[in-house]
């Protein structure tokens, strides 16, 4: 049997907080008519629900993958989570009989598919000539797509943005789909995100114009990439959606060893893919870094960088005008962190301005500030010099930040964006990191 998980690991799989609570209340022996586990890592159970017949839940720990007969559209559903919690508590008998037929058929089907998938993995170095031809084709497609995007953007401004409020999501989904066809997924993502801007309250016209303007800047930059210095060209290409293979990043960059403070992290979800953004800062070099990890919804995100600790590690940065994204090459040691040194608001604005000069599309920048939160005129943080920056509306009420501060200065780490500061971590009076 697979090594038992702890509850934290199970709960990290939950799609939201209500699912966690529902799973807790189901994770008692009373709800389950039967449970079992078998080699190499299968769990199953029948759980009483509102329907006449019990729900049948199966979990394959490798993956993990889930199957449940309940009608929930959440994934994984509360039954699968509750079954995992029971197992984590040691309440599922491990050397049970063979799984019942309804579980066994799904498990065997999965094992078969997994075998085929491994066999059919696309081999890496194809014929170099074919690879070169494909790359060329893609460049041509992207160039055509960007030409099209540029015309579309100009059309919007020619006809007037006022019409956007009646346009509906399809308006942006169509052009985003065109960018997918043109193999420019980075642009597609940016475009889809724009659909909500016309409903984002006062000032939406300005925000939409900013985004359109930066998109045209990106299109023009790509079409004239030959004139750009190489790091800026890499920035442009990565924002459009050309991804570098990790091996190429590692081959092209020098490892930077430092005690990387794990400042904070933010999980985002789009198109059933979860992205974890973990912000780091070197204690010696002072250098900011961003580690990204991805997982399909229902799968475990990388958890090796714990907020509030330091990682003695070698990082390799992706190339770019403002190298930020990095791969953790080797983690030598995990150390007790302690609060990072907070900057002033003037210092943050200066460092962001300098970074923007290199990468004009940069819209999130790590901030570590010694500040006091305030409520008025808008929720904000304010430093000892009396300078203040608003909090990002999307971050919610930020009550935790207020509770930790109690009206006194605290060290806060977060993402600075053109829409305000998105606070991620605060250090309390005992110097302990509190995830916000």
Site for other proteins in 161-220 (CB under 8 A): 161-162, 205-206, 209-210, 212-214, 216-217, 220
382 binds other proteins (CB under 8 A): yes
79: CB partners within 8 A, 6+ apart: 26, 45, 47, 49, 55, 57, 68, 70, 72
Are the beta carbons of 312 and 335 closer than 8 angstroms? yes
The three-point CA angle 56-60-63 to 5° equals: 140
Query: Scanning residues 87 to 146, which ones bind other proteins (CB under 8 A)?
Result: 89-94
**Shortest distance, CB of residue 260 to other proteins, whole angstroms?**
23
323: CB partners within 8 A, 6+ apart: 231, 317
Instruction: Identify which range of 103-111, 189-197, 225-233, 367-375 contacts other proteins by CB under 8 A.
Output: 367-375
Structure tokens at 41: 């890592």
Query: Scanning residues 43 to 82, which ones bind other proteins (CB under 8 A)?
Result: none
434 binds other proteins (CB under 8 A): yes
Are the beta carbons of 40 and 62 closer than 8 angstroms? yes
Pick one of 110, 287, 331, 400: the residue that binds other proteins (CB under 8 A). Answer: 400
Q: Which is nearer to other proteins, 96 or 180 (CB)?
A: 96
Q: Which is nearer to other proteins, 282 or 379 (CB)?
A: 379
Pick one of 131, 273, 341, 353: the residue that binds other proteins (CB under 8 A). Answer: 353
Site string for other proteins, 285-324 (x = CB under 8 A): ----------------------------------------
**Shortest distance, CB of residue 246 to other proteins, whole angstroms?**
31
Pick one of 108, 137, 144, 159: the residue that binds other proteins (CB under 8 A). Answer: 159
Pick one of 9, 113, 332, 432: the residue that binds other proteins (CB under 8 A). Answer: 432
9 binds other proteins (CB under 8 A): no
- Sheet strands side by side (includes 288-296): 288-296, 273-282, 256-270, 309-317, 326-336
**Shortest distance, CB of residue 404 to other proteins, whole angstroms?**
5
Its sign, for the CA torsion 337, 341, 345, 350, is negative
Pick one of 12, 143, 297, 356: the residue that binds other proteins (CB under 8 A). Answer: 356
Q: Which is nearer to other proteins, 31 or 293 (CB)?
A: 31
CB atoms within 10 A of CB 25: 10
Query: Scanning residues 403 to 422, which ones bind other proteins (CB under 8 A)?
Result: 403-404, 406-408, 418
Residue recorded with tokens 């509770």: 403
34 binds other proteins (CB under 8 A): no
For 273, the 3-state DSSP assignment is strand
29 binds other proteins (CB under 8 A): yes
CA distance 390 to 422: 9
Q: Which is nearer to other proteins, 165 or 196 (CB)?
A: 165
Q: Which residues of 390-405 are buried (b: 16+ CB within 10 A; e: fewer)?
A: ebbeebeebeebbebb
How does DSSP classify residue 227?
G
Q: Which is nearer to other proteins, 210 or 248 (CB)?
A: 210
How does DSSP classify residue 53?
S
- Sheet strands side by side (includes 42-47): 32-38, 42-47, 55-60, 65-68
CB atoms within 10 A of CB 176: 22
Query: Scanning residues 220 to 249, which ones bind other proteins (CB under 8 A)?
Result: 220
Q: Which is nearer to other proteins, 6 or 121 (CB)?
A: 6
Nearest C-alpha neighbor of 408 from the set 426, 393, 424, 391:
426
Query: Scanning residues 247 to 266, which ones bind other proteins (CB under 8 A)?
Result: none
**Shortest distance, CB of residue 125 to other proteins, whole angstroms?**
40
Are the beta carbons of 94 and 1 closer than 8 angstroms? yes
**Shortest distance, CB of residue 418 to other proteins, whole angstroms?**
5
CA distance 433 to 307: 7
**Shortest distance, CB of residue 162 to other proteins, whole angstroms?**
5
**Shortest distance, CB of residue 428 to other proteins, whole angstroms?**
6
**Shortest distance, CB of residue 401 to other proteins, whole angstroms?**
9
List, in sequence order, every residue forming a beta bridge with 57; answer none if it has no partner.
45, 68
Instruction: Identify which range of 56-64, 181-189, 235-243, 370-378 contacts other proteins by CB under 8 A.
Output: 370-378
Q: Which is nearer to other proteins, 265 or 291 (CB)?
A: 265
Q: Which is nearer to other proteins, 293 or 405 (CB)?
A: 405
């Amino acid at each position: 049997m697979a090594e038992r998980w702890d509850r934290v690991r199970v709960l990290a799989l939950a799609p939201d907080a209500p699912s966690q609570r529902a799973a807790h209340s189901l994770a008692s022996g009373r709800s389950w008519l039967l449970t079992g586990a078998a080699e190499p890592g299968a769990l199953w159970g029948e759980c009483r629900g509102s329907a006449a017949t019990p729900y049948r839940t199966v979990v394959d720990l490798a993956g993990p993958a889930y199957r449940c007969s309940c009608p929930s559209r959440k994934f994984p559903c509360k039954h699968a989570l509750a079954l995992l919690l029971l197992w984590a508590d040691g309440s599922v008998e491990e050397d049970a009989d063979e799984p019942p037929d309804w579980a066994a058929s799904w498990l065997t089907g999965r094992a078969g598919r997994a075998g085929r998938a491994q066999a059919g993995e696309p081999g890496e170095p194809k014929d170099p000539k074919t690879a070169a031809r494909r790359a060329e084709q893609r460049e041509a497609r992207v160039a055509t797509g960007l030409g099209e995007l540029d015309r579309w953007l100009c059309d919007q401004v020619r006809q007037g943005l006022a019409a956007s409020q009646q346009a509906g999501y399809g308006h942006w989904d169509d052009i985003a789909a065109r960018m997918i066809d043109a193999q420019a997924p980075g642009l597609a993502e940016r475009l889809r995100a724009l659909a909500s801007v016309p409903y984002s309250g006062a000032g939406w016209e300005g925000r939409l114009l900013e985004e359109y303007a930066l998109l045209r800047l990106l299109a023009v930059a790509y079409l004239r990439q030959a004139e750009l210095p190489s790091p800026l060209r890499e920035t442009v290409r990565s924002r459009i959606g050309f991804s570098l293979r990790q091996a190429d990043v590692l081959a092209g960059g020098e490892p930077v060893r430092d005690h990387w403070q794990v400042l904070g992290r933010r999980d985002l979800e789009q198109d059933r893919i979860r992205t974890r953004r973990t912000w780091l800062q070197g204690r010696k070099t002072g250098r900011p870094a961003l580690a990204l990890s991805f997982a399909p919804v229902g799968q475990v995100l990388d958890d090796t960088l714990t907020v509030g600790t330091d990682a003695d590690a070698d990082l390799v940065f992706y190339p770019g005008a403002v190298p930020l994204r990095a791969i953790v090459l080797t983690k030598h040691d995990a150390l007790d962190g302690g609060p990072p040194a907070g900057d002033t608001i003037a210092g943050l604005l200066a460092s962001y301005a300098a970074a923007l000069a290199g990468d004009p599309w940069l819209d999130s920048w790590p901030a570590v500030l010694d500040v006091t939160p305030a409520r008025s005129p808008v929720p904000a943080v304010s430093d000892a010099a009396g300078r203040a920056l608003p909090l990002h509306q999307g971050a919610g009420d930020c009550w935790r930040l207020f509770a930790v501060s109690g009206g006194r200065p605290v060290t806060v780490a977060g993402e600075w964006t053109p829409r305000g500061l998105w606070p991620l971590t605060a250090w309390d009076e005992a110097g302990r990191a509190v995830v916000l």
